[in-house]
């Protein structure tokens, strides 16, 4: 027989989106700093191309950017505008529709980030 796991509480709310596991507040109002610890990473921005689970359509992913939510949104908007395509920012990852890895790497290097091409 498996031991009962303690309830870990609310993970997602339709009112406020994702919840912080540390302070149980919406991520936008997180007070414990767990969000900043996860965003810090190793200081290297990784750019990759993915098509799994998207009906064969390619998406360029940008991971490891150590910015707060608003600055990440602004960077995402700059990248999408420069590539001439749509996209979104989810869970600290910028998604740009289409295969724009080379262009995104050049743009990020021009802004002073340490960038690596991840994946194949």
Digitized pLDDT (tens) for each residue of the chain, 120 residues in all: 555 555 556 666 677 777 777 777 777 777 776 545 444 457 788 999 988 878 888 999 999 888 888 888 999 999 999 999 999 998 889 999 999 999 999 999 998 888 889 886
The pTM is what? 0.65
Whole-angstrom CA distances from 91 to 3, 5, 25, 97, 115 are: 32, 26, 15, 16, 19
Classify 41-117 by CATH class.
alpha beta
Domain residue limits, the chain: 10-39, 41-117
Sign (positive/negative) of CA torsion 98, 91, 47, 56?
negative
Please report the pLDDT score of residue 84 as a whole number: 93
Q: What tokens appear for 69 in the block?
A: 């939510």
Chain-centroid distance of CA 73 in Å reads 10
Chain-centroid distance of CA 102 in Å reads 19
């Amino acid at each position: 027989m498996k031991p009962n796991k303690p309830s870990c509480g609310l993970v997602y709310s339709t009112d406020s989106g994702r919840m912080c596991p540390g302070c149980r507040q919406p991520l936008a109002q997180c007070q414990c700093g767990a969000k900043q610890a996860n965003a810090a990473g190793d200081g290297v921005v990784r750019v990759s191309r993915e098509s799994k689970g998207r009906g064969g359509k390619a998406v360029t992913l940008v991971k490891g950017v150590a910015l707060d939510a608003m600055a990440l949104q602004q960077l995402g908007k700059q990248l999408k505008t420069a590539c001439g395509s749509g996209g979104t920012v989810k869970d600290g990852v910028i998604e740009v529709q289409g295969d724009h890895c080379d262009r995104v790497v050049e743009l990020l290097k021009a802004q002073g980030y340490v960038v690596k091409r991840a994946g194949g």
